[in-house]
Amino acid sequence: MLEARLQSQQRSSQNGRETSLWSSGFGMKLEAVTPFLGKYRPFVGRCCQTCTPKSWESLFHRSIMDLGFCNVIQVKEESTRFRGWLVRRLCYFLWSLEQHIPPCQDAPQKVMESTGVQNVIPGRAPGGAGEGQVPSHVKREVQHILGHIQAPPRPFLLRLVSWALLRILNCLFLNVQLHKGQMKMVHKAAQAGSPLVLLSTHKSLLDGILLPFVLLSQGLGVLRVAWDPRTCSPILRALLKKLGGLFLPPEANLSLDSSEGVLARAVVHAAVEQLLVSGQPLLIFLEEPPGAQGPRLSALGQTWLGLVVQAVQVGIVPDAMLVPVAITYDLVPDAPRDTYHASAPLGLWTGALAVLWSLRGWGCSRRACVRVHLAQPFSLHEYTVNARSCWGSRQTLEQLLQPIVLGQCTVVPDTEKVQEWTPVTGPLLALKEEDQLLVRRLSCHVLNACVASSAVMSTAIMATLLLFKHQKGVCLSQLLGEFSWLTEETLLRGFDVGFSGQLQCLVQHTLSLLRPHVALLRVQQGDLLVVLRPGPGLAHLARLSSEMLPAFLSEAVGACAVWGLLVGRVLPEGPWELQGIELLSQNQLYHQILLLMHLLPQDLLLLQPCQSSYCYCQEVLDRLIQCGLLVAEETPGSRPACDTGRRRLSAKLLWKPSGDFTDSDSDDFEEAEGRYFRLSQQSRCPDFFLFLCRLLSPLLKAFAQAATFLHQGQLPDTESGYAEQLLRFLEATAQEEGFFECVDPNLAISAVWTFRDLGVLQQVPSPAGPMLHLSPTFASRDNQEKLERFIRQFICN
């Protein structure tokens, strides 16, 4: 008992010392500097110049870059028309009363009189009422379906919720930042007369409430939000509809030959058409709800977007302005996993408990920051006209990679990869196949714009540094320099950051947010050692670091491709100088980059549909040269690469398709055979090269473990059942090896779907539903080992 008491006293004193380190500002005298902010802050979010050149020019002016940021939830006496001591105490309430809420009248009669509904009525009422009259039972059906979709917004309820939300947000967050110049672009697009359709990422269940609040406070009116009915209980759906929410009725997902489904889809089309005609802004989430295991692109979001596209094509409205929206958090303030199940609908009582838990658990010391980004609006009509010219031939992943994996072929086919993980459901099935492809590509294009314009938060930078550069621990003084370096690298790549302030305060605030996963230890020299807490919490840091990946994705793909070339030539543990001797031809680099591109899921790469794979290969190579990792090697007797004055015009056509232009002077792939590169010998290159390789290691290691698991898995099984088996295997392997970063349900399901597309797993229909079977080609252990070797060549150990 005495020993146990002594041990408990030692633990309590250690916890007390650690608590004092957190609360005393680390207990160190550090110089407060601002090393990066103010030097260069990129204005991100410009639309695609290839697909929408007119929008790129018309809705942007360089003066809006200097307008700065505003804190949306900072409401003071000056935010109202009144002054005085009582106003300072009631400013939130007065501000909510002053918000302009335009009348939003949902006209059921106009929906009933729409052409689509009128065409369906004869099939629902054979031999019914006279000409021009709608039978009463059909009216009730239409009103019932329309009641599932929407309800007239209630101004009093909107003001009450805005007041309550303003108080809650100030308790949860330090600030909610919005760029004034981006808001000015959206206002300019709204004044053009076309309806606004905002297409957003989906990071939290709070997004559907936070974004309408932000835009209402900026004078855009009531935002109609397309919610997922699976995430809300019936009581919560009724409340959200009175706040402007939209829900797809369950009858809309019935088969195409079902009369109930035909009527429901006609009513949905008519409701969206009336919404666009009235000019009310619409918010659609392009990503699946947080916590959902499945494809990144939302099937429901594509359905709503397809309704908008069809309304523009039919001519109900001449055009619609699409606005990519991104929202990023330091930490997502969702309820814990044991409070509600991710697949269960969120009820009103459960949502209130989640808010109370967030207010209690976060407290003043863990309040995070939020950044809302509105990208440049662009014309939907202009995109549909220009986008169809970029479509080319495509092949499946099995056709592209399986012969190379098995060693039957070495040449990658000159075609694009087709990988559609998001199912086509609901009203989108009624569209022509060409229009379905247009909606899918538009969704991918806009989601790429959303991710490219997302601000990188301080927690993502810190998690990336601790996971992929200093997993064994780092001194705080060194961590300050690394944080400054990675922030500057992010800004130089055209990505914005969602924070500002002095370096020491930023690092202290970020570490306090990550306190459950980080420990601070005092060392003898007076410095502090920042150490990761081992265990499953590393998977949470890996999810945070994935927000950093888009800024370095091209370089990470290129570094892993270079590693795959070097691993078969020199020893991986050899010195950097020995690896720098090897010459890498441009053709070999193209080939290796293409292999890795095809292996990686489309949900991760999010390539623009107007950009070909070979153009992306050239972009990856250009990035490696620009960041100093690759240096061009001039072969003896050849003309220097920089000598363009003596270059003669070739007999080929000088004009190329627009998709073939890149920023490099090496556009002609046939001239790439004589070009060689070697790794740079600068002192910073080895660490930076390994850092880039490790950014993709969680995904690639999950794929490699999935290949190892092939001979242990119990097949046949459903996709979800086999993904559960694989996740348990990843957890068991992580307990042995200590690599918890790849223990993620989304990585497990991505591996299963990639192997299905690759032909490793086959989906066979059965009475119980589709079942996965091991392909006869990969039933042999030899081919399974070939697959594992193919994946592991890109992993830097």
pLDDT digits (tens, 9 = 90+) for 636-695: 555 555 554 444 444 443 444 444 444 444 444 445 556 889 888 888 888 999 999 999
What pLDDT is recorded for position 597? 94
Domains (ranges, CATH) in the chain?
53-119+137-334+364-388 (no CATH), 456-545 (1.10.10), 697-793 (1.10.10)
Confidence (pLDDT) at 92: 77
Phi/psi of residue 17, nearest 5 degrees:
-65, -40
What is the per-residue pLDDT across 210-256, written as a single tens digit (0 to 9) for each? Answer: 999 999 888 888 889 999 988 888 888 999 999 999 999 988 888 88
Among residues 723, 757, 46, 56, the alpha carbon closest in space to that of 418 is found at 757
Are 384 and 431 spatial neighbours (Cβ–Cβ below 8 Å)? no
Q: Is 650 left (phi over 0), alpha (psi -120 to 50) or beta?
A: beta
Number of other CB atoms surrounding residue 2 within 10 Å: 6
Q: Give the pLDDT confidence score for residue 666 in this predicted structure.
A: 41
- What pLDDT is stored for residue 7 in this prediction? 46
Residue 29's pLDDT is 45
In which band, very low, low, confident or very high, does the pLDDT at 37 lie, cut at 50, 70 and 90? very low
pLDDT digits (tens, 9 = 90+) for 566-583: 887 766 565 566 666 778
pLDDT at 552: 96
Phi-psi region of 397 (alpha: psi -120 to 50; beta: other; left: phi over 0): alpha
* pLDDT for 11: 47
pLDDT-wise least confident of 256-265, 657-666, 708-717:
657-666
Q: Is the pLDDT of residue 32 over 70?
A: no
Least confident range of 47-61, 73-87, 209-223: 73-87
The string of pLDDT tens digits covering residues 434-454 is 899 999 999 999 999 999 999
677 bridge partner residues = 584, 632
Tell whether the model's pLDDT for residue 348 goes beyond 80: no
Closest CA to 672 of 557, 590, 558: 590
The pLDDT of residue 454 is 93
CA atoms within 13 A on the CB side of 349: 0
- Is pLDDT at 195 greater than 70 in this prediction? yes
The separation between the first and the last C-alpha atoms of the chain, rounded to the nearest angstrom, is 46
**Is the pLDDT score of 618 beyond 50?**
yes
pLDDT in tens, 88-105: 677 777 778 778 787 766
Q: pLDDT > 90: what percent of the chain?
A: 42
Q: Report percent pLDDT > 70 for the chain.
A: 80
